[in-house]
Amino acid sequence: MVSDGNSDKSLLVSLIAGGTAGGIEATVTYLKLAAFEYAKTRVQLHEDSPTQNPFRVIRNVIQQEGPGALYKGCSALIVGTVAKDAIRFISFDSIKLAFKDPQTGTLSPARNLLAGIASGVVASTFAVTPTERIKTAMIDDARYTKRFTSPWHATKTLIAEHGLLRALYRGYITTTLKQASTTSVRLGTYNILKDFERLRDIPQTTATTFANGAVAGTIVVAVTQPFDTLKTRAQSVRGAGLKEAFTSVIADYGVRGFWRGSTMRLGRTVLAGGILFTSYEWVAALLTPILDKRMLPASE
């Protein structure tokens, strides 16, 4: 069973459950679908091949660079996802506690989306931008110079060349736009669906939770893909400002270029959304009674 959502989660539960769920989601989806994440990033960079067929992109990479190339930046993504989801769930739940309706325990759709935007900005600042920068730089580097041997080596090299902030926070604006919109749509949509079901006494089963997460993941790709494309351009090894990233996409592919890589991202995001929220609710349901019991005052 998953939690019914009627009782508030403590912020410690949100932190632990969010980080654990992020780790589970990242491990399952990135290890099984890392090829699609790699292919998505490649076609969002200025790729010589015009194809957007993920299987052709993957085949070409394996033929030219070997299968190991598909996992470039994967470890950085897994570490970053654990931190990202721990931060965004605790910040989202903190805002929910502050602004929920005291009678129904729910948020309006607008407040759900605003809570997601705020938690996305926090997650981008403290976790997403640095790890996404390293992942994107490693994938971009693998196309040409092949300088980086590991995420740690890439981090040290970029810091030595550009300084700490410019190295790890290149593309901060585009990444934050993407993260704020993604978190707003994903967590907002999921919470709106959950509140809708709660008010109508629809049981919160594992199947319901997974379906809600998958729907949220689908909407995320449709709405936020342009921000993801701009983020990828800005975080390449050479880097680009927001204006340069925008104009380069238009010059290369036209307006349709902002949705380049959607198919590859959708294949991971739908599954990731279902796994993330199902894992989060399971872990929260497991931890809540344990932590609540430990926090109770000892009987005299």
Rounded to two decimals, the pTM is: 0.68
Q: Residue 185 belongs to what domain range?
A: 11-294
Ranges of H-type helices in 200-235 = 206-234
Based on the structure, what is the number of domains in the chain?
Answer: 1
In a domain? residue 94 = yes
In a domain? residue 128 = yes
In a domain? residue 6 = no
In a domain? residue 92 = yes
What separation, in Å, do the N-terminal and C-terminal C-alpha atoms of the chain show?
35
In a domain? residue 2 = no
In a domain? residue 3 = no
Ordered per-residue pLDDT tens for the chain, 300 residues:
344 444 456 788 888 999 999 888 877 776 656 666 777 777 777 555 555 666 777 788 788 777 777 766 677 767 778 888 898 888 888 887 877 777 777 778 888 888 888 888 998 999 889 988 888 888 888 777 788 888 889 999 999 999 999 889 988 988 898 888 888 888 889 988 988 998 888 988 999 999 999 999 899 988 888 988 888 888 876 666 788 889 988 988 899 889 888 887 887 788 888 999 999 999 999 988 877 666 544 443
Instruction: Give the closest residue to 171 by CA, choosing from 123, 117, 119, 134.
Output: 134
* CATH number assigned to the domain comprising residue 191: 1.50.40.10
Residue located via tokens 């585009």: 174
In a domain? residue 83 = yes
In a domain? residue 45 = yes
Give the DSSP letter of residue 124: I
Cβ neighbours of residue 225 closer than 8 Å, sequence gap 6 or more = 258, 259, 261, 262, 265
| 9 close to 93: Cβ distance less than 8 angstroms | yes
